[in-house]
Chains A and B, each alone.
Chain A
Amino acid sequence: MPTDTGTIETLANKEYEWGFVTDIDADALPKGLNEDIIREISRRKDEPEFLLDFRLKAYRHWLTMVPPQWANIKYPPIDFQDIIYYSAPKSKKKLASLDEVDPELLRTYAKLGVPLAEQKLLANVAVDAVFDSVSVATTFKAKLAEMGVIFGSFSEAVKTHPDLVRKYLGSVVPYSDNFYATLNSAVFSDGSFCFVPKGVRCPMELSTYFRINAKETGQFERTLIIAEEGAYVSYLEGCTAPMRDENQLHAAVVELVALDNAQIKYSTVQNWYPGDKQGKGGIYNFVTKRGKCLGQNSRISWTQVETGSAITWKYPSVILQGDNSIGEFYSVALANNYQQADTGTKMIHIGKNTRSTIVSKGISAGHGQNTYRGLVKVLKGAADARNYTQCDSLLLGDQCGAHTFPYIEMKNTTSRAEHEASTSKIGEDQLFYCKQRGIALEDAVNMIINGFCKEVFKELPMEFAVEAQKLLGVSLEGSVG
Chain B
Amino acid sequence: MPILEIKDLQAGIAGRQILRGVNLTIVPGEVHAIMGPNGSGKSTLAQVLAGRDTYVVTGGSVRLDGQDLLELSPEERACAGLFLAFQYPVEIPGVSTSYFLKAALNAVRKYHGQPELDAMDFLKLMKQKMKLLDMDPSFLSRAVNEGFSGGEKKRNEILQMAVLDPKLAILDETDSGLDIDALRIVAGGVNSLRGPDRGILLVTHYQRLLNYIVPDYVHVLRDGQIIKSGDKNLALELEARGYGWLEEPAAVH
B79 contacts the other chain (CB 8 A): yes
Q: How far is the CA of A433 from the CA of B75 in the complex (A)?
A: 10
Q: How far is the CA of A439 from the CA of B75 in the complex (A)?
A: 6
A454 contacts the other chain (CB 8 A): yes
Q: Determine if B104 and A439 form an interchain contact, defined as CB atoms under 8 angstroms apart.
A: yes
Q: Determine if B94 and A440 form an interchain contact, defined as CB atoms under 8 angstroms apart.
A: no
Q: Give residues 431-481 of A contacting B (CB, 8 Å).
A: 432-441, 443, 447-448, 450-455
Q: Determine if B75 and A450 form an interchain contact, defined as CB atoms under 8 angstroms apart.
A: no
A427 contacts the other chain (CB 8 A): yes
Q: Determine if A439 and B84 form an interchain contact, defined as CB atoms under 8 angstroms apart.
A: no
B89 contacts the other chain (CB 8 A): yes
Distance (whole angstroms) from the CB of B99 to the closest CB of chain A: 8
Q: Determine if A452 and B164 form an interchain contact, defined as CB atoms under 8 angstroms apart.
A: no
Q: Determine if A438 and B104 form an interchain contact, defined as CB atoms under 8 angstroms apart.
A: yes
A-side interface size class: 20 to 34
Q: Determine if B143 and A451 form an interchain contact, defined as CB atoms under 8 angstroms apart.
A: yes
A430 contacts the other chain (CB 8 A): yes
Return chain B residues, CB-CB under 8 Å to A451: 92-95, 143
Report the nearest B residue to A440, measured CB to CB. Answer: B75
Q: Give residues 190-206 of B contacting A (CB, 8 Å).
A: none
Distance (whole angstroms) from the CB of B160 to the closest CB of chain A: 7
Q: Determine if B107 and A443 form an interchain contact, defined as CB atoms under 8 angstroms apart.
A: yes
Report the nearest B residue to A449, measured CB to CB. Answer: B94
Q: Determine if A437 and B164 form an interchain contact, defined as CB atoms under 8 angstroms apart.
A: yes
Partner of A448, one of B51, B52, B92: B92
Distance (whole angstroms) from the CB of B56 to the closest CB of chain A: 15
Return chain A residues, CB-CB under 8 Å to B78: 435-438
Partner of A438, one of B89, B94, B164: B164
Report the nearest B residue to A361, measured CB to CB. Answer: B94
A99 contacts the other chain (CB 8 A): no
User: Known: A430-B90, A451-B94. Contact between A435 and B75, CB under 8 A?
Assistant: yes
Q: Give residues 63-87 of B contacting A (CB, 8 Å).
A: 73-75, 77-79, 83-84, 86
Return chain B residues, CB-CB under 8 Å to A452: 93-94
Distance (whole angstroms) from the CB of B143 to the closest CB of chain A: 7
A429 contacts the other chain (CB 8 A): yes
A79 contacts the other chain (CB 8 A): no
The 8 A CB mask of B204-241 against A (1 = contact, 0 = none) is: 00000000000000000000000000000000000000
Q: How far is the CA of A443 from the CA of B104 in the complex (A)?
A: 10
A428 contacts the other chain (CB 8 A): yes
User: Known: A438-B75, A438-B164. Contact between A455 and B94, CB under 8 A?
Assistant: yes
User: Known: A438-B108, A451-B143. Contact between A432 and B74, CB under 8 A?
Assistant: yes
Distance (whole angstroms) from the CB of B119 to the closest CB of chain A: 15
B138 contacts the other chain (CB 8 A): no
Q: How far is the CA of A389 from the CA of B93 in the complex (A)?
A: 19
Q: Determine if B92 and A433 form an interchain contact, defined as CB atoms under 8 angstroms apart.
A: yes
B114 contacts the other chain (CB 8 A): no
User: Known: A435-B73, A438-B75, A438-B78. Contact between A450 and B104, CB under 8 A?
Assistant: no
Return chain B residues, CB-CB under 8 Å to A439: 75, 103-104, 107
Q: How far is the CA of A430 from the CA of B89 in the complex (A)?
A: 9
Distance (whole angstroms) from the CB of B193 to the closest CB of chain A: 16
Q: Determine if B90 and A450 form an interchain contact, defined as CB atoms under 8 angstroms apart.
A: no
Return chain A residues, CB-CB under 8 Å to B107: 437-440, 443
Q: How far is the CA of A433 from the CA of B86 in the complex (A)?
A: 8
Q: Determine if B90 and A429 form an interchain contact, defined as CB atoms under 8 angstroms apart.
A: yes
Return chain A residues, CB-CB under 8 Å to B54: 428
Partner of B84, one of A436, A441, A450: A436
Distance (whole angstroms) from the CB of B134 to the closest CB of chain A: 22
Report the nearest A residue to B95, measured CB to CB. Answer: A451
Report the nearest B residue to A451, measured CB to CB. Answer: B94
Partner of B94, one of A428, A434, A443, A453: A453
Q: How far is the CA of A435 from the CA of B52 in the complex (A)?
A: 10
B11 contacts the other chain (CB 8 A): no
Q: Determine if B75 and A447 form an interchain contact, defined as CB atoms under 8 angstroms apart.
A: no
Distance (whole angstroms) from the CB of A47 to the closest CB of chain B: 48
Q: How far is the CA of A439 from the CA of B101 in the complex (A)?
A: 10
Q: How far is the CA of A427 from the CA of B92 in the complex (A)?
A: 9
Return chain A residues, CB-CB under 8 Å to B160: 437
Return chain A residues, CB-CB under 8 Å to B50: 432, 436
The 8 A CB mask of A369-399 against B (1 = contact, 0 = none) is: 0000000000000000000000000000000
Return chain A residues, CB-CB under 8 Å to B77: 436
Q: Determine if A435 and B74 form an interchain contact, defined as CB atoms under 8 angstroms apart.
A: yes
Q: How far is the CA of A448 from the CA of B91 in the complex (A)?
A: 10
Q: How far is the CA of A433 from the CA of B74 in the complex (A)?
A: 10
Return chain B residues, CB-CB under 8 Å to A428: 54
Q: How far is the CA of A435 from the CA of B100 in the complex (A)?
A: 11
Q: Determine if B90 and A438 form an interchain contact, defined as CB atoms under 8 angstroms apart.
A: no
Distance (whole angstroms) from the CB of A2 to the closest CB of chain B: 32
Distance (whole angstroms) from the CB of B241 to the closest CB of chain A: 35
Closest 10 CB pairs of A and B: A451-B94, A451-B95, A437-B104, A454-B94, A438-B78, A438-B107, A433-B90, A435-B74, A435-B75, A438-B108
Give residues in A with beta carbon < 8 Å to B. Answer: 427-430, 432-441, 443, 447-448, 450-455
A-B contact pairs, 15 of them (CB 8 A): A430-B91, A433-B90, A435-B73, A435-B78, A436-B51, A436-B74, A436-B78, A436-B84, A437-B107, A437-B160, A438-B111, A439-B103, A448-B95, A451-B93, A453-B94
Q: A437-B100, A437-B101, A438-B78 are in contact. List 16 more A-B contacts (CB 8 A).
A: A428-B54, A429-B90, A430-B90, A430-B91, A436-B74, A436-B77, A436-B84, A437-B103, A439-B103, A447-B92, A447-B99, A447-B103, A450-B94, A451-B95, A454-B95, A455-B94
